[in-house]
């Protein structure tokens, strides 16, 4: 496959025929999900205030080790990452492994793909397993807003570096003389898009308006997220997916008692300046800033069988798309709308073949604009290169145990949460029906990125 | 959780002061450390028949102790000047009338002033039954009273415990019986530090003893054990001791305790299972996990328990029901599922946590005492169901144990509570754990339906 240069004309429009070769290639074998573990997600500045990424990731790893009896085990690798990261955490994942109950000879590396970090880590580890490069691995992610790095301004940073290099007192004085008062203001971390200066919410507000997604539809989806997550906790669904941390046993953003009335009472926070539109995105139907960590244990079937470990699902295939939201006319968070059709086509599947849709709720409207695009004839023809609309997602199969609006969204940790959840869902369904079950995972990310993956009961 | 008083009366100037004032001075108990000698100092073996025939049983005990590498003596006079007895074993299996008790017990009495700190007195006798000749029954049951009384007289952390041969072992001298050897070893060892004034009945010849020292060092090798309530306190310590003895441990606790549970599971290299034991299918899920992950299930320790103390006059269903649900109903349901499954390993072991509150009663704990006395009833009635599998079920009743729970008792009440036993101190979670590990071991197969108290011989109750 030749790399295509994305131009304004084909903004985000990558037609399906570009990538063929479905499933494992010659000699490839299955990579399976054994299980997962995460700590409860906590609203920023709350339960995990002052707790570092390393502490959270180590706790998530240790919970995984305890669940599966991996103490002293040398795993093939641990791949994880964080979006908000201190420079001292250059080897965050390796340091977390060293602090965990795993054998210290387990290799590790950091990777980062904004909110898709956890899912991309899963794909990376799964692919190595499929190629036979490793037998087992952990994929994960962690993020904290409560312990986020705060940098000094570029001006002060240049002065500090120059002073560090200075050989004489005069040179040092000169270096500091260049500092202006405005340089003393700390550079707080931002989640704004560097190329547009717009926050993710403002970007999504444009997309929301374009697809005419209503406030009511968003609130309904948000309510369903809370209700589903609460019901799943009550049913014990998360008993083997979550290990408490720092006094928190459940995600503390979860509002099991919320209602459409309460959600309707919230004031919009995004899209207030968009001309000719009614702002509809509120704190209730958007994800809050969140702290948390998640991990997923992946393995070859042989490795799992040797240790009598369960096998929940196999990683069938995955696809990453990107859209041109800077110069093109596609929305920042719409890349999954392209990745999913391409991924399903490559595997000979349609939306009807999917039992569980796990579409990350960056905002309730992200899910709704994606579903709207798939149901749209023009989008199907012009953007996806299909004969018409891509199809309709059965809402009864969507985020059935809740998603990010209720659970929260510690950026890099969301992928691991979803993969472990989806793997358990398909395993349960297959056990009930005796037939294979499939889950489709879709995660949008900053920078116009979107990652999708298919899990199948195994 | 620290007993400051115990520290003060055992060190420095406060020790001298306590001595002069005649204050009670609880001893620092010798506790088990792998590799330590079984008994420190010579062991004296006394028999009721020393002054006539037969001496078979006494000889057999002496030979067994020699095989364990102990320095065995047969005469109280065989003690070097300044030396102290590490242990005295009194064989009373052949007593026929109460007058037969005198020679051995008086000989024992002559040794007590030279018993070492944390020394041991162990009696071996037969159970009195309704079919015995009255004089025989009187003699046999007389041992109980003598043992319990002398245990209260011992000082310096020494303990007195008894092994009773059940009616089914009438034809044996007891020493070929695995559980008699195992109980003798347990009572002699530092593992029974806080077990005092207890008589344990060995009912059958079931069980297997390790063939060598390495075997005694890892009695649970190859076994898979489940411990409920393993996240903290006594449960966490049980998990550690079972793992030390060679078992693979499945640590179970409610999901909200999962973080502490994971730490315990990782420390013992076992697995963590977050599970509310009051769930209808808890027994099945425990079996599925143990058999699925570890290939078998040998040992179940029902440790999980809660308290909701109230005077009965103030009790409501909110404080009564959960205590019964967790402490006894859940255990009954799990046992039913375990037994019906047919998936337990051969010679399975169930050990359930009772409490001295369930024996002697405790003001403000009608709910708790009902549940814990219930555990004792359950253990006795489940024993015959386990026997056909070569299995056992027993209850362990802790007295005052130094835990996070008892640390919350008001200071004065706590000080009083921990002195109200013959050892004048609270026990440690490890003391309970050691007793459970003993009952869970293959050698304890002949001990079934028993209640063993780990209470330092609490002054109330049996």
Measured from the Cβ of residue A382, the count of other Cβ atoms closer than 10 Å reads: 11
Tell me which residue of B378, B427, B424, B371 sits closest to B398, measured CA to CA. B427
Question: Which of A51, A66, A100 should be substituted to probe chain B, the one whose Cβ sees the most B Cβ atoms within 10 Å?
Answer: A66
Q: Please list the residues that pair with A322 across neighbouring strands.
A: A449
Residue B52: pLDDT band by 50, 70, 90 thresholds?
A: very low
Count CA within 13 A, CB hemisphere, residue A71.
16
pLDDT of residue A174: 86
Global pTM reads 0.90
pLDDT for the residue numbered B201: 97
**Is the Cβ pair A71, B266 closer than 8 Å?**
yes
Those residues whose C-beta lies under 8 Å from the C-beta of residue B72, and which sit 6 or more positions away, are B42, B43, B44, B45, B62, B65, B66
pLDDT at B405: 81
Q: CATH topology for B213-454?
A: Rossmann fold (3.40.50)
Please give the structure tokens belonging to residue B79.
């003690």
Block residue for tokens 């992950």: B293
SS3 A343: helix
- A40-54 pLDDT per residue, tens: 999 999 999 999 999
The whole-number pLDDT of residue A275 equals 85
How far B247 CA lies from chain A's nearest CA (Å)? 14
B236: closest CA of chain A, how far (Å)? 14
What was the pLDDT predicted at A396? 98
Asked if B261 has any chain A CB less than 8 Å from its own CB, the reply is yes
Quick one: how far is CA B53 from the chain centroid? 34
Q: How confident is the model at residue A125 (pLDDT cuts 50, 70, 90)?
A: very high
A253, A46 Cβ separation under 8 angstroms: no
Task: Report chain A residues whose CB lies below 8 A from the CB of B292.
Answer: 308, 310
- Which domain range does residue A174 map to? 154-178
For residue B171, the model assigns a pLDDT of 75
Q: Which residues neighbour A428 within 8 Å (Cβ) at sequence distance 6 or greater?
A: none
Q: Is residue A172 part of a domain?
A: yes
Q: Which one has a higher pLDDT value, B212 or B297? A: B297
Closest chain A residue by Cα to residue B266: A66
Distance of CA A59 to CAs A277, A293, A376, Å? 45, 8, 44
* pLDDT, tens digit, 9 for 90 and up, residues A379-389: 999 999 999 99
Q: Is residue A170 included in any domain, yes or no?
A: yes
Domain count, chain A: 1
For A217, phi then psi, to 5°, come to -65, -40
A72 domain-assigned: no
- Binary contact (B259, A236; C-beta < 8 A): no
Residue B170: the pLDDT is: 83
Is A64 a domain residue?
no
- In angstroms, the separation between the Cα of residue A232 and the nearest Cα of chain B is 14
Q: Above 70 in pLDDT, residue A24?
A: no
Alpha-helical regions (H) of B352-407 = 357-360, 366-386
- Tell me if A269 is assigned to some domain: no
CB-based contact, B54 to chain A, within 8 Å: no
In our burial notation (b when 16+ CB lie closer than 10 A, e otherwise), range B268-286 reads: bbbbbbbbbbebeebbbbb
Q: How many residues does chain A have?
A: 458
User: Pairing relation of β-strands B349-353 and B392-398?
Assistant: parallel
HSE value, Cβ hemisphere, 13 Å, CA-based, for A251: 37
Could you tell me if residue A394 is inside a domain?
Answer: no
What's the rounded mean pLDDT across residues A353-377?
98
pLDDT tens-digit map of B371-422: 999 999 999 999 999 999 999 999 999 999 999 888 888 888 888 888 889 9
Closest residue to B274, CB basis, from A71, A72, A240: A240
| Nearest-Cα residue of chain A relative to residue B249 | A69
B258 contacts on A by Cβ (under 8 Å): 63, 242-244, 249
CB contact under 8 A, A69 and B255: no
Q: CB B265 to CB A66 under 8 A?
A: yes
Q: Could you tell me the pLDDT band of residue A411, with boundaries at 50, 70 and 90?
A: very high
Residues of chain B with CATH 3.40.50.720: 36-202, 213-454
CATH architecture of B36-202: 3-Layer(aba) Sandwich (3.40)
Task: At B110, list the tokens.
Answer: 């002559």
Residue in A65, A308, A310 nearest the CB of B266 = A65
Mean pLDDT score across all residues of chain B? 93
| Complex prediction ipTM | 0.89
**DSSP states of A7-64:** -STTTT---GGGS---SS-TT----EEEEEEEPPPEETTSTTTT--HHHHHHHHHHHH
pLDDT digits (tens, 9 = 90+) for A77-108: 999 999 998 889 999 999 999 999 999 999 99
Note the pLDDT of residue A1.
39
B255 → chain A, closest CA residue: A239
């Amino acid at each position: 496959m030749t790399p295509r240069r994305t131009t304004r004309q084909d903004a985000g429009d990558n037609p399906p025929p570009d990538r063929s070769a479905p499933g494992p290639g010659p000699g490839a074998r299955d990579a399976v999900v054994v299980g997962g573990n995460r700590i409860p997600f906590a609203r920023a500045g709350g339960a995990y205030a002052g707790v570092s990424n390393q502490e959270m990731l180590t706790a998530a790893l240790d919970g995984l080790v305890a669940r599966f009896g991996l103490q002293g085990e040398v795993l093939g690798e641990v791949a994880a990452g964080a979006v908000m990261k201190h420079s001292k955490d250059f080897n965050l994942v390796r340091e977390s492994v060293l602090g965990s109950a795993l054998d210290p000879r387990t290799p590790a590396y950091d990777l980062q793909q904004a909110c898709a970090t956890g899912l991309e880590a899963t794909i990376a580890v799964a692919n190595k397993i499929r190629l036979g490069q490793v037998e087992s691995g952990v994929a994960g992610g962690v993020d904290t807003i409560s312990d986020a790095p705060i940098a000094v301004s570029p001006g002060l940073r240049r002065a500090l570096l120059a002073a560090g290099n200075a050989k004489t007192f005069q040179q040092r004085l000169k270096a500091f003389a260049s500092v202006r008062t405005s340089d003393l203001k700390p550079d707080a971390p931002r989640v704004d898009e560097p190329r547009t200066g717009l926050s993710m919410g403002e970007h999504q507000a444009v997309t929301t308006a374009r697809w005419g997604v209503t406030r009511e539809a968003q609130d309904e989806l948000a309510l369903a997220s809370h209700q589903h997550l609460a019901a799943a906790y009550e049913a014990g669904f998360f008993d083997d997916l979550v290990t408490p941390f720092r006094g928190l046993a459940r995600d503390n953003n979860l509002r099991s008692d919320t209602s459409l009335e309460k959600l309707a009472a919230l004031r919009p926070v995004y899209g207030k300046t968009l001309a000719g539109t009614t702002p509809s995105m509120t704190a209730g139907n958007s994800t809050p800033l969140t702290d948390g960590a998640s991990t997923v244990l992946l393995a070859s079937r042989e490795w799992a069988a040797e240790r009598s470990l369960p096998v929940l699902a196999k990683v069938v295939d995955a696809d990453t798309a990107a859209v041109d939201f800077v110069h093109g006319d596609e929305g920042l968070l719409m890349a999954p709308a392209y990745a999913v059709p391409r991924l399903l086509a490559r595997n000979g599947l349609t939306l009807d073949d999917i039992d569980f849709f796990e579409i990350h709720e960056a905002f309730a409207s992200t899910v709704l604009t994606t579903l709207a695009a798939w149901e749209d004839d023009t989008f199907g023809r012009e953007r996806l290169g299909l004969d018409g609309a891509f199809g309709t997602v059965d809402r009864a199969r969507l985020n059935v145990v809740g998603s990010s609006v209720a659970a929260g969204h510690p950026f890099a940790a969301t992928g691991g949460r979803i993969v472990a959840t989806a793997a358990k869902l398909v395993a349960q369904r297959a056990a009930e029906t005796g037939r294979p079950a499939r889950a489709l995972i879709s995660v949008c990310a900053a920078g116009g990125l979107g990652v999708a993956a298919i899990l199948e009961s195994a | 959780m620290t007993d400051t008083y115990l520290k003060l009366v055992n060190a420095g100037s406060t020790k001298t002061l306590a001595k002069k004032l005649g204050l009670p001075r609880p001893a620092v108990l010798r506790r088990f450390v792998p590799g330590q000698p079984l008994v420190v100092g010579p062991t004296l073996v006394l028999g009721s028949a020393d002054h006539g025939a037969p001496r078979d049983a006494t000889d057999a005990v002496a030979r067994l102790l020699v095989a364990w590498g102990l320095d065995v003596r047969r005469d109280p006079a065989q003690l070097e000047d300044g030396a102290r007895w590490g242990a005295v074993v009194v064989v009373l299996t052949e007593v026929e009338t109460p007058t037969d008790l005198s020679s051995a017990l008086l000989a024992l009495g002559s040794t007590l002033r030279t018993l070492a700190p944390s020394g041991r007195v162990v009696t071996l006798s037969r159970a009195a039954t309704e079919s015995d000749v009255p004089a025989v029954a009187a003699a046999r049951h007389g041992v109980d009273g003598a043992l319990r009384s002398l245990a209260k007289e011992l000082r310096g952390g020494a303990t007195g415990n008894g092994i009773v041969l059940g009616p089914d072992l009438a034809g044996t001298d007891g020493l070929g019986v695995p559980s008699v050897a195992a109980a003798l070893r347990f009572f002699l060892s530092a593992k029974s530090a806080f077990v005092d004034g207890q008589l344990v009945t060995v009912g059958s010849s079931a069980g297997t003893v390790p063939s060598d020292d390495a075997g005694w060092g890892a009695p649970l090798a190859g076994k898979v054990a489940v411990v409920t309530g393993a996240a903290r306190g006594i449960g966490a310590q049980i998990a550690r001791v079972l793992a030390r003895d060679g078992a693979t441990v499945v640590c179970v606790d409610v999901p909200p305790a999962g973080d502490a549970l994971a730490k315990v599971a990782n420390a013992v290299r076992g697995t963590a299972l977050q599970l509310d034991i009051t769930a209808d299918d808890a027994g099945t899920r425990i079996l599925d996990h143990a058999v699925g992950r570890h290939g078998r299930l040998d040992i179940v320790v029902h440790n999980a328990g809660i308290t909701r103390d109230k005077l009965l006059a103030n009790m409501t269903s909110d404080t009564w029901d959960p205590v019964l649900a967790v402490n006894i109903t859940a255990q009954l349901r799990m046992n039913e599922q375990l037994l019906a499954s047919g998936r337990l390993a051969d010679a399975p072991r169930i050990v359930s946590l009772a409490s001295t509150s369930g024996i002697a009663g405790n003001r403000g704990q009608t709910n708790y005492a009902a549940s814990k006395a219930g555990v004792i009833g359950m253990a006795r009635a489940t024993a015959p169901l386990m026997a056909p599998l070569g299995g056992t079920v027993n209850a362990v009743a802790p007295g005052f144990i130094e835990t996070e729970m008892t640390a919350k008792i008001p200071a004065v009440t706590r000080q009083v509570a921990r002195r109200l036993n013959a050892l004048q101190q609270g026990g440690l979670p490890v003391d309970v754990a050691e007793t459970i590990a003993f009952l869970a071991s293959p050698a304890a197969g002949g001990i079934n339906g028993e209640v063993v108290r780990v209470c330092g011989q609490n002054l109330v109750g049996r």
